[in-house]
Structure formats: structure tokens, C-alpha cells
């Protein structure tokens, strides 16, 4: 298995999605618009105004998500498994990670994930616990 080829294949498969996410990020971060002609050259002498509506909309979406409460639901076909205990463990694990991030002055997991989900299309989290 050639991992280099697999990575390149995934990049190729995601290229349109990545381009779309970059255009969305440009709107969110108010990247100045540049008018281009059909040959992709910058048109001189044009005055463009970048309006902040996309950034305000994005901030409102993230604020709404931040006010939501995350629910952890574990399901199992095995009736012997105590799903409540697993759910509580996951809740404590995320709370512990958030406490550690706050002590470091960093953003907690959920707001970071909200921003990534809204504006980049995906997120991943890995919480490692040491005893």
C-alpha cells in the first residue's frame, strides 16, 4: 500500500470541497474582493467594498451553537453494558479537557469544534487521558 499515493488521491478527491471551504473562509474573514477578467488578471481602476454581512452571519451562527448543550448518547446491543457509565465517563473526559485548555488560556473543545464545523466543514477531536 503506497500511502503517498493514497494521500494524493484524497487531496484530489477533496479539491473542490477544499476550494469551496476556502471561498467561505474568505467571506468570513472579509478578504477584500478583487475583480478579475476572463483571463484571471486583476482589473485595475475598480473600487470594491467588502461588506461584513458574512462575518456577522457567521458570528451569529457560532453564538447560537455555543448556547446549545452537547448530549452524549451511547447505544449498545449488549444489554450487559452500562451505557450510562460510559456516557458519564465521556462527559467527565470532555470537562477535564476543557478545564486543562482553560488553564492554558486556550479555547475549549466545543466552541472550537463549532467554528470548524461551520466554516471548514469538519472537525476531529481526540482526548487522551492519563492516570
Tens digit of pLDDT for each residue in 12-21?
Answer: 998 998 888 8
Please give the DSSP secondary-structure letter assigned to residue 68: S
- Give the tens place of pLDDT for each residue, 79-128: 999 999 999 998 888 888 889 889 999 888 777 777 777 777 766 667 67
What are the CA-CA distances from residue 111 to residues 18, 21, 49, 59, 68 (Å)?
22, 19, 30, 12, 10
How many Cα neighbours within 13 Å face the side chain of 109? 17
Task: Give the integer Cα–Cα distance in Å for 93 and 116.
Answer: 21
Task: Give the integer Cα–Cα distance in Å for 131 and 125.
Answer: 20
Whether the model pTM is above 0.75: no
Please give the DSSP secondary-structure letter assigned to residue 39: T
Amino acid at each position: 500500500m503506497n500511502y503517498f499515493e493514497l494521500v494524493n488521491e484524497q487531496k484530489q478527491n477533496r479539491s473542490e470541497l477544499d476550494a469551496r471551504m476556502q471561498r467561505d473562509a474568505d467571506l468570513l474573514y472579509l478578504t477584500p474582493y478583487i475583480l478579475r477578467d476572463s483571463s484571471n488578471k486583476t482589473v485595475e481602476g475598480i473600487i470594491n467594498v467588502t461588506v461584513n454581512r458574512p462575518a456577522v452571519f457567521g458570528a451569529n451562527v457560532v453564538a447560537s451553537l455555543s448556547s446549545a448543550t452537547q448530549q452524549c448518547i451511547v447505544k449498545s446491543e449488549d444489554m450487559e453494558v452500562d451505557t450510562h457509565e460510559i456516557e458519564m465517563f465521556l462527559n467527565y473526559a470532555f470537562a477535564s479537557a476543557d478545564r486543562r485548555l482553560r488553564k492554558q488560556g486556550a479555547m475549549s473543545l466545543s466552541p472550537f469544534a463549532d467554528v470548524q464545523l461551520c466554516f471548514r466543514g469538519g472537525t476531529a477531536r481526540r482526548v487522551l487521558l492519563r492516570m
